[in-house]
Each structure stands twice: as C-alpha cells, then as structure tokens.
C-alpha cells in the first residue's frame, strides 16, 4: 500500500515539471515574484549595502557634505577613551548583561511550562492561552503596566513584597525588573514553540524507552531532549537575537537610567542615528553589534550540531 | 485500583500549580484594566486598591479629549497601518511563495537561498539605511513608512512556501489538462486551499505591525501622524506620570489585539508555534 502511493507520488513529481514547462511562458514565474522582489531589493538588499557605505562616511542627514572617512567611525568606536567609544561599549555591556541573564531564564522556564502542559488534560488550551496572552500585547502596553507596578513609591511590587526598592532607577534592581518583565512578556511564546516540538516527538520512542526500563529522568534525557534539538536550536537562536534587540522595555521602564547603564546598544544606535543624526557612527555601531550577533548564532549552531552525522 | 489515586493527586497538584501561576500571570493585566476606571488620586495612591471606588470614566474622558493625545487619530493610524501592512504582505508574499514552491525556473534556488539568508541578518543593520531610504521617498512622518518597509522581510514568503510545497500536484495537473494557465491555477486552486495559512499570516502581520514600537517612534514625528504605541510612548515621557491616563491609553491600545486574540487564539498560537519549525 505505502509502496503504491509512493510510486504514484514519484510519477506525479516527474510529470508536473514537464507539463508546467509546456504551458508556462518563460517570464511567468518572474511575474509572480516581481512585486515581492521589488520590496525585497529596495528595503532589504539595498539597505545592507547602503548601511555599510554610510558607516564609511561622516553622514549627517541635514548636511549636504558627507565626506568619506574610511574606517574612522569604526576606529573611534574601538577607542574606549573617545566619547562615542565609551558610550558605545557601555551600551554593548548593557545589551550583554541583559542577554546573559534573560536567555537562560527564557529557555528553562518555558521548557518547564511546556513539559507541564504536554499532555491531554482538561483546561490545557486555556492555560496555554493565558501564558501566551502577554505576548500579543506589544511592548508599549507591557512597558506602561510594569512602569506602574514597579513604581518605587506607589507600585504594587514594593507594596506586596514590603520593599523600598527603586526598580526603575537603580542597578542591579533595574536589571531584575527588565529581565523579569521580559520573561513575563515572552515566556508564553517560547513555551508554545516548545510545546509544539514536544508533540512532534513520536509516542513510540517513549514506549520503546519504557520497555527498555527507562525511568522519567532517563526518558527525558534520551528521548525528549534529543527530540527537541531542532526546536531548541531555533528557540535559543531567536531568543538571543530578541534579547540583544531589547529596546522598548528599557525606553519605557528605565529610560536608560541610571546614567545610561540600562541603555542598550540598539537604543543608543537609534538615538545616535535618528535623534542626533550622526548616521555614519550609528551605522558603524550597528555593524559591530551585528557582527557580535552573527558570532553568537554561529556558536549556537556549533553547540547544537548533530554529533551523529558529523 | 491502587494506581489511579497517586495519579489523581499528581493531576490535582499540576492543576493547582498551573492555575495559581495563571492567576498571577494575568493579574497585571487585570490591574491595568481596573486602574483605568480609577480617579487620578486613587491611581496615584500609596495604598493600592484593586477595585476602583468610585469607579469613573474620567481617565478615558480626559485622554480622549486632551489636545496632547489625539488618541482616536492614533487609533485610526494604527488600524490603517496594520491592515495596510498585512494586506501588502499577503499581496506580495503569496504569489512569490507560490512561484518558489510550485514553478520551475532559472534562478529559483538562488533567489530562495538569498531570501532565507536575510532571515539571519540582524534587523538592527537596516534601521539607519531604511530611514535614509524612507527619507528619500519623502515618507518620513507618514503612514507608508510604517506600512511598506517591513513587508520586505522574508518571513511571509518562507512561511507560505512551506505550505504551498505540501499541496498535491494532481490538482494542478488536472486544471492544466483543462487548459488553465498558471495565474488561474494559482487563484482558483492554490489560493482557496491556502486560506488557513493566509489568515494566519495576515493575523501575525497585523499583530506585529500594531505592536511595533521602535521604528514608529523614530520615523513618525508630528502628533497627528503617530500610531498608538508611538503616541502613548511620547505621551508618557512628555508628562509627569499620570497612571490613570496611561492605563486608559494602554487599555485602548490593547482592545483590538485582545479581541483578535479571543476570537482567533488557536490560529495565532498554532501559527506562531509552527512558523519557525519546518524547514
């Protein structure tokens, strides 16, 4: 039966291109692609090149002269004694601190939540919907609500914990606040992705492991974790990128306070390029940040490489 | 008969944990809604109260009538931007994804590889140059700036291509034998079958655009052209913090997405949880 269907699929796959080739004019596929490719070229391909070009110039949108300066923008950023350089590395440090503390929590807690919800029981979809709900709200709403709850004088958090902590203007409390809010906001996103991954693991693997006498811990190690590997690579990577792009929480809750210590790199890039219009320096910053992010992605892919095939 | 007892206890414990955490989880949003009905004094009191007494619509009245916060204009702008963006994504990504999935032509694998590669480009490198390009197009401070550039992202094409690839070839072949051209096959066979994927992509694009924050606060400038998140963000930094007004604004900004979520929760969650996994 399965052999039969497979051979029919093969025949279908072979016949389709021949039939398509007969009827299709050569330009038809390009006509299908053209509207998207126009957007893609103008707002995706062109900007990458244009950004590099900008980073090699002294570029102020309001000045007619945009002199070529070579790598001077980069050199200034790599000089920690310069004003721009010290600002930039303070911001890179903020991005690094936030990413370092938020990513492990945003992997472990959602994985735990997904394991709890992985099973058929009444109300499962309701729990899933509740945990996911904050994520649909967007950072502006989340920022306002938590700015209120974390208010040092009238906030519920200090009130219920009996504390007198300035969550929005002191470090390290500000870091705890920013990481905590982000975990609350996006936990559900990673949890539903893990949950979908868990449900794709074939039941037979668990049954086989049980026949072999594997307990729950052994089944988790030998079936669940390997089965989640592709999902894990995706989630870790996407979470690192999202954390390293953290902007709204810092903008709305701490406004970078105290003394720009919670001002993240992307926040500084936006302020430098789009408020002070020093676009050459801001572009250079964005390429340095992107370099770090691509290294992080490469490390993640390396760490989760399938050891059986390599 | 002995086995079910511990299992029932375990199950009850699981429910208890999930329910308590769920209640805590949703409480900030409940507090937001309740606070929007408080008086200015009650919202700023050091003795927090949950139930507003007296309950009032003052905050809504004030934020709706204040000249500093043309919130209905922001709401309309957000709606136009989110619908326009989602429609643009569907109009451009759908035929492109169909071609990449179902048609054979020179350059297909290269084009697809380049689109997928840009999914790995950190979006921060696009921020400054896209502002310059939008400025060249004279779109700064107008809605096309928040509608168009983000539609260049490869996600929609990638997402729909995964769907079109799974369509059985037999349906298209039958139509071809009947003499239908490619465009007809696309519109009359592939599109109807793709409806669930198209609805999901529309919802995800709408949500992303409605909630977008960084780009609109820098590319929209005058009060009348802002979207809701951008307007409320400026409103917060411009005023001594009035939490009653902010919570009323936050409720107004959340209403459409909460309604959408209540109606289409399954689609949103399934769409998001499956979107990154295949491929």
What's the average model confidence in pLDDT over B230-247? 81
Q: Is a pLDDT exceeding 90 seen at residue B225?
A: yes
- pLDDT confidence bin for A308, thresholds 50/70/90: low
First to last CA, chain A: 35
Q: What confidence score (pLDDT) does residue A18 get? A: 45
Whether residue B64 is contained in a domain is answered as: no
Q: Is a pLDDT exceeding 90 seen at residue B76?
A: yes
CB A127 to CB B104 under 8 A? no
Whether residue B112 is contained in a domain is answered as: yes
**How close, in Å, is residue B266 to chain A by CA atoms?**
8
Domain span including residue B105? 73-273
Query: What's this model's pTM, rounded to 2 decimal places?
Result: 0.90
CB B253 to CB A289 under 8 A? no
- pLDDT confidence bin for B6, thresholds 50/70/90: confident
Q: What confidence score (pLDDT) does residue B233 get? A: 86
CB B129 to CB A16 under 8 A? no
CB B96 to CB A19 under 8 A? no
Q: What percent of chain B has pLDDT over 90?
A: 67
Contacts of A21 in chain B (CB under 8 A): 104
Name the 3-class secondary structure at A68: strand
The rounded distance, in Å, linking the Cα atoms of B143 and B165 is: 34
Q: What confidence score (pLDDT) does residue B131 get? A: 97
Q: What confidence score (pLDDT) does residue B172 get? A: 86
B243-278 pLDDT tens trace = 999 999 999 999 999 999 999 888 888 888 876 544
What letters, b where the CB count within 10 A reaches 16 and e where it falls short, cover B145-177? bbbbbbbbbbbbbbbbbbbbeebebeebbebbe
Q: What confidence score (pLDDT) does residue B238 get? A: 59
CB B129 to CB A294 under 8 A? no
**Residue with more model confidence, A17 or A216:** A216
Q: What confidence score (pLDDT) does residue B107 get? A: 94
**CA within 13 Å, CB half, B157:** 31
- pLDDT confidence bin for B144, thresholds 50/70/90: very high
What CATH number should be reported for the domain holding residue B123?
A: 1.10.3720.10
Choose among A13, A24, A266: nearest Cβ to B182. Answer: A24
What's the average model confidence in pLDDT over B207-214? 94
Q: What confidence score (pLDDT) does residue A305 get? A: 80
**How close, in Å, is residue A151 to chain B by CA atoms?**
10
CB A139 to CB B132 under 8 A? no
Q: What confidence score (pLDDT) does residue A14 get? A: 41
Name the 3-class secondary structure at A94: helix
Chain-centroid distance, C-alpha B226: 17
Using only C-alpha atoms, chain A has a radius of gyration, in whole angstroms, of: 25
The rounded distance, in Å, linking the Cα atoms of B71 and B279 is: 42
Q: How far is CA B256 from CA A113, A132, B66, B142, B206, in A?
A: 27, 16, 22, 22, 10
B146-168 pLDDT tens trace = 999 999 999 999 999 999 998 88
Q: What confidence score (pLDDT) does residue A76 get? A: 94
Q: What confidence score (pLDDT) does residue A159 get? A: 93
- pLDDT confidence bin for A15, thresholds 50/70/90: very low
- pLDDT confidence bin for A2, thresholds 50/70/90: very low
Q: Is a pLDDT exceeding 80 seen at residue A44?
A: yes
Q: What confidence score (pLDDT) does residue A22 get? A: 52
Q: What confidence score (pLDDT) does residue B179 get? A: 85
How many separate domains does chain B show? 1
Most confident residue range from A32-46, A122-136, B117-131: A32-46
What's the average model confidence in pLDDT over B112-124? 92
Whether residue B5 is contained in a domain is answered as: no
The rounded distance, in Å, linking the Cα atoms of B233 and B127 is: 19
Q: What confidence score (pLDDT) does residue B267 get? A: 82
Whether residue B1 is contained in a domain is answered as: no
Q: Is a pLDDT exceeding 60 seen at residue B180?
A: yes
Contacts of A28 in chain B (CB under 8 A): 103, 182-183
Whether residue B33 is contained in a domain is answered as: no
Q: What percent of chain A has pLDDT over 70?
A: 91
* A-B contacts (CB, under 8 Å): 296
Whether residue B46 is contained in a domain is answered as: no
Whether residue B9 is contained in a domain is answered as: no
Chain-centroid distance, C-alpha B205: 5
**How close, in Å, is residue A81 to chain B by CA atoms?**
25
Q: What confidence score (pLDDT) does residue B56 get? A: 93
Whether residue B209 is contained in a domain is answered as: yes
A148-207 pLDDT tens trace = 999 988 999 999 999 999 999 999 999 999 999 999 999 999 999 999 999 989 989 999
A46-70 pLDDT tens trace = 999 999 999 999 999 888 888 999 9
- pLDDT confidence bin for B83, thresholds 50/70/90: very high
Q: Is a pLDDT exceeding 60 seen at residue A309?
A: no
CB B44 to CB A44 under 8 A? no
CB B237 to CB A255 under 8 A? yes
Chain B residue closest in CA terms to A298: B120
Choose among A48, A132, A140: nearest Cβ to B253. Answer: A140
Q: What confidence score (pLDDT) does residue B239 get? A: 57
In the block, which residue shows the tokens 């909630």? B211
Residue of A24, A26, A43 for testing the chain B interface, max B β-carbons within 10 Å: A43
């Amino acid at each position: 039966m399965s052999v039969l269907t497979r051979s029919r699929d093969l025949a279908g796959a072979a016949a389709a291109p021949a039939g398509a080739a007969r009827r299709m004019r050569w330009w038809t596929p390009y006509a299908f692609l053209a509207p998207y490719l126009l957007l893609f070229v103008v707002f995706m391909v062109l900007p990458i090149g244009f950004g590099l070009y900008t980073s090699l110039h002294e570029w102020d949108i309001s000045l007619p002269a945009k002199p070529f300066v070579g790598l001077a923008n980069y050199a200034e950023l790599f000089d920690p004694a310069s004003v721009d350089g010290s600002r930039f590395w303070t911001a890179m440090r903020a991005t690094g601190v936030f990413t370092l503390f938020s990513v492990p929590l945003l992997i472990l807690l959602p994985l735990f939540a997904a394991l709890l919800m992985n099973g058929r029981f009444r109300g499962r979809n309701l729990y899933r919907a509740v945990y996911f709900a904050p994520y649909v709200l967007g950072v502006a709403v989340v920022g306002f609500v938590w700015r209120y709850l974390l208010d040092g004088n009238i906030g519920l958090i200090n009130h219920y914990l009996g504390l007198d902590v300035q969550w929005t203007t002191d470090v390290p409390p500000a870091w705890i606040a920013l990481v905590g809010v982000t975990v609350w906001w996006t936990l559900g996103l990673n949890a539903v992705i893990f949950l979908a991954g868990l449900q794709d693991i074939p039941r037979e693997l668990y049954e086989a492991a049980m026949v072999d006498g594997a307990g729950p811990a052994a089944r988790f190690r030998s079936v669940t974790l390997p089965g989640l590997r592709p999902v894990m690579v995706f989630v870790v990577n996407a979470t690192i990128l999202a954390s390293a792009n953290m902007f709204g929480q810092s903008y709305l809750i701490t406004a970078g306070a105290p003394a720009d210590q919670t001002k993240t790199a992307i926040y500084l890039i936006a302020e430098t390029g789009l408020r002070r219009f020093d676009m050459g320096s801001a572009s250079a910053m964005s390429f340095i940040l992107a370099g770090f992010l691509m290294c992080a992605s490469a490390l993640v892919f390396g760490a989760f490489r399938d050891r059986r095939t390599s | 008969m002995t086995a079910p007892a511990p299992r029932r206890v375990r199950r009850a414990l699981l429910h208890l944990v999930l329910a308590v955490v769920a209640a805590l989880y949703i409480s900030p949003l409940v507090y937001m809604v309740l606070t929007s009905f408080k008086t200015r004094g009650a919202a700023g009191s050091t003795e927090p109260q949950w139930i507003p007494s007296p309950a009032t619509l003052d905050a809504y009245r004030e934020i709706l009538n204040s000249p500093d916060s043309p919130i209905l204009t922001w709401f309309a702008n957000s709606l136009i931007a989110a619908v326009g963006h989602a429609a643009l994504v569907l109009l451009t990504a759908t035929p492109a994804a169909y071609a990449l999935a179902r048609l054979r032509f020179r350059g297909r694998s290269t084009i697809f590889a380049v689109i997928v590669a840009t999914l790995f480009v950190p979006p921060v490198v696009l921020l400054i140059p896209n502002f310059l390009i939008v400025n060249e197009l004279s779109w700064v401070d107008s809605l096309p700036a928040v509608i168009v550039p983000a539609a260049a992202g490869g996600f929609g094409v990638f997402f729909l291509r995964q769907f079109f690839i799974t369509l059985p070839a037999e349906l298209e072949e039958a139509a071809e034998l009947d003499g239908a051209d490619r465009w007809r096959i696309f519109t009359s066979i592939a599109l109807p079958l793709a409806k669930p994927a198209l609805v999901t992509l529309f919802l995800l694009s709408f949500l992303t655009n409605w909630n977008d924050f960084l780009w609109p606060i820098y590319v929209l400038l005058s009060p009348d052209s802002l979207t809701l998140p951008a307007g409320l963000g400026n409103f917060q930094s411009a005023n001594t913090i009035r939490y009653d007004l902010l919570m009323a604004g936050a409720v107004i900004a959340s209403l459409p997405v909460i309604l959408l979520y209540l109606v289409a929760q399954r689609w949103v969650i399934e769409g998001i949880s499956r979107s990154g996994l295949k491929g």
